[in-house]
Structure 1
Amino acid sequence: MSEEVVVFVTCPAVASQNFAEQLIESNLAACVNILPSIKSVYKWEGKLTVDEDEALLIVKSNLAVWADLESKIRAIHSYEVPEIICVPIVEGHEPYLRWLNQSVLLQAQGERQKT
């Protein structure tokens, strides 16, 4: 059984295209949507913080590559504690889910066999 997931990641807007491309090129994501110009409001070290120029990445992937995906995001992210949230896809359009799995799982298997 496949375990398709959506992963939400916030990052500086200027870095969002690079993030998306690296995740796709690494076969860790089938598709990354970039929602530019979001504002995040939160407390950091007890102080109200507002990040005015962030982007939200919506990453479609599979739980089978979660550890590598999270590791890759942490490696390229500039934040000390980046937002990386993984949620399961309960249902979806079957042809899309099939494409998602082929894009991530089959390509990732091919890359592992080359090494």
Structure 2
Amino acid sequence: MAAGTAAGTTAGTAAGTTAWLTVLTTTDAPEKAEALARGAVEARAAACAQISGPVTSVYRWKEVVETASEWQVLFKTTGARYDALEAYLLAAHDYDTPEIIATPVVRGSADYLRWVEEETVEEETVEGETGE
């Protein structure tokens, strides 16, 4: 298998990117978290997403220290689909500056990582389809 595939349990690289990633974001309501998760999976920008919360976030925003309850969404994706996931999150998220942090997956179950790859393959337009 070529580098970047799920052969074995260590991350390869594809086009200079990490083969597999977890990507974290947060939002202020569970229904918003679910909408972000569902949209990313439907778009095949992520294979799956897990929602945790509420968590307490403490941060500085516009020179004021804030404390808020948030829900974390952890996406599983590939390096090849990161740009699509980030673009989706920036468009769909209602925060001015949403947290979007990617962490490389350095080891994992070969079967699971293969599934992540299969579920994030960008769908191609059917030949002859104009999209109109």
Task: Give the TM-score, by structure 2 length.
Answer: 0.79
Determine whether 1:112 maps to 2:124: yes
Matches within 5 A, 1:19-98: 19-52=36-69, 54-98=70-114
Matches within 5 A, 1:11-26: 11-13=27-29, 14-26=31-43
- Give the helix-richer structure, 1 or 2: 1
| DSSP-derived class of the 2:55 partner | strand
- Give the strand-richer structure, 1 or 2: 1
Unmatched runs of 5 consecutive residues or more in structure 1: none
Partner deviation per Cα, 1:33-67 (whole Å, 9 max, x = no partner): 00021111000111001112x11011000010111
Unmatched runs of 5 consecutive residues or more in structure 2: 5-18
RMSD (Å), alpha carbons: 1.2
Aligned identity (percent) is 30
Larger radius of gyration between Structure 1 and Structure 2: 2
Q: Point out 4+ residue stretches in structure 1 off by more than 4 angstroms.
A: none
Letter in 2 for 1:26: A
d(CA) in 1 for partners of 2:91 and 2:56?
A: 23
The number of aligned residues is: 110
